[in-house]
């Protein structure tokens, strides 16, 4: 992938035995279950306005001064091999897990686990076999929530119920996505159930595309809600330019591991990939206490 750092990729491993690297060594049975997951590292080019200024990385000339070694927690394994293979990983994300001897490291929503000697990296989900819960998915939820929390209310296009707001949904949307349009056509069904919708843009065709420019025009419109509804109805929107958060939201979509639109995030960061009718969504929100 041009312009992107290599990310963590999934490997099939099972709880009966875990194949490690090419030496085919195995850990004792029943320690953990590792489930396949492959997530690419996000990459995007920051825009030049107040919304994306925080995301810009300032380039500085290299000097001969040796950079300080990143701090790692007490008792953590050596990260020398890890950072040599994955130079974009931040060793300061290293975190002890509930599984004895395994240390968590992540890049966005891609997670891996480092063995005590720092030599082997297990890529995938860490599952508690007693409870059936994915400890990794819980951590992904936290990561996704932290990304969305970077956006204030005035940096999203929101539709709120007339009465009490019982639930909040954060939806990455594309004005040209069929199921995004279907969800928006049924907006009143969600609002009637006390579900507030907060939209963030993710033009799938990328920066500079017609969809991306339409998203910018929607944001710059005098009435953003009306302009978004027109765009999702395949009606024209007056082209406009202004400072806007579209690039920042596009980059955020990559950071949360978005694979398609719509992507619905619940208040705790739980992801629902794709469209879900209001009635089913309400049932799930009630069941999860969100």
For the annotated catalytic residues, the residue numbers are: 174, 177, 180, 204
The structure tokens listed for 288 are: 């999860």
Q: Can you give the C-alpha Rg of the chain in angstroms?
A: 21
Cα 189 from chain centroid (whole Å): 27
DSSP per-residue codes, 139-199: HHHHHHHHHHTTS-GGGSEEE--SS---EEEEEEE-TT-HHHHHHHHTHHHHHHTTEEEEE
d(CA 179, CA 261): 8
Inter-CA distances, 163 with 226, 260, 277, Å: 21, 31, 20
Beta 157-159 vs 195-201: how paired, if at all? Answer: antiparallel
Inter-CA distances, 199 with 144, 154, 202, 253, Å: 15, 11, 10, 12
Q: Give the number of other CB atoms < 10 A from CB of residue 217.
A: 21
Q: Give the number of other CB atoms < 10 A from CB of residue 181.
A: 19
d(CA 174, CA 216): 12
Q: Are 193 and 277 in contact (CB under 8 A)?
A: no
Q: Which of 181, 174, 187 is nearest to 258 (CA)?
A: 174
């Amino acid at each position: 992938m041009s312009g992107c750092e290599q990310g963590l990729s999934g490997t099939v491993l099972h709880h009966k035995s875990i194949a490690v690297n090419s030496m085919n060594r195995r850990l004792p049975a029943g320690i953990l279950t590792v489930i396949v997951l492959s997530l690419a590292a996000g990459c995007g080019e920051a825009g030049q306005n107040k919304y994306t200024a925080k995301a810009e990385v300032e380039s500085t000339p290299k000097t001969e001064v040796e950079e300080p070694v990143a701090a790692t927690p007490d008792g953590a394994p050596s990260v020398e091999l890890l950072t040599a293979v994955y130079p974009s990983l931040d060793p300061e994300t290293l975190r002890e897990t509930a599984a004895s001897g395994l240390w968590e490291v992540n890049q966005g929503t891609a997670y891996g686990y480092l063995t005590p000697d720092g030599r082997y990296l297990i890529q995938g989900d860490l599952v508690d076999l007693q409870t059936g819960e994915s400890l990794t998915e819980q951590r992904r939820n936290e990561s996704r929530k932290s990304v969305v929390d970077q956006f204030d209310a005035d940096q999203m296009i929101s539709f709120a119920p007339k009465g009490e707001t019982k639930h909040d949904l954060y939806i990455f949307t594309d004005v040209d996505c069929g199921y995004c349009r279907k969800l928006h056509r049924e907006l009143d069904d969600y609002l009637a159930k006390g579900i507030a919708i907060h939209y963030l843009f993710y033009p799938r065709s990328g920066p500079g595309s017609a969809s991306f420019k339409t998203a910018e025009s929607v944001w710059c419109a005098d009435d953003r809600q009306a302009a978004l509804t027109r765009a999702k109805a395949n009606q024209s929107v007056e082209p406009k330019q202004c400072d806007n958060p579209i690039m920042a939201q596009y980059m955020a979509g990559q950071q949360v591991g978005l694979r398609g639109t719509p992507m619905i995030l619940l208040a705790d960061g739980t992801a629902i990939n794709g469209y879900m009718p209001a009635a089913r969504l309400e049932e799930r929100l009630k069941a999860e206490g969100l």
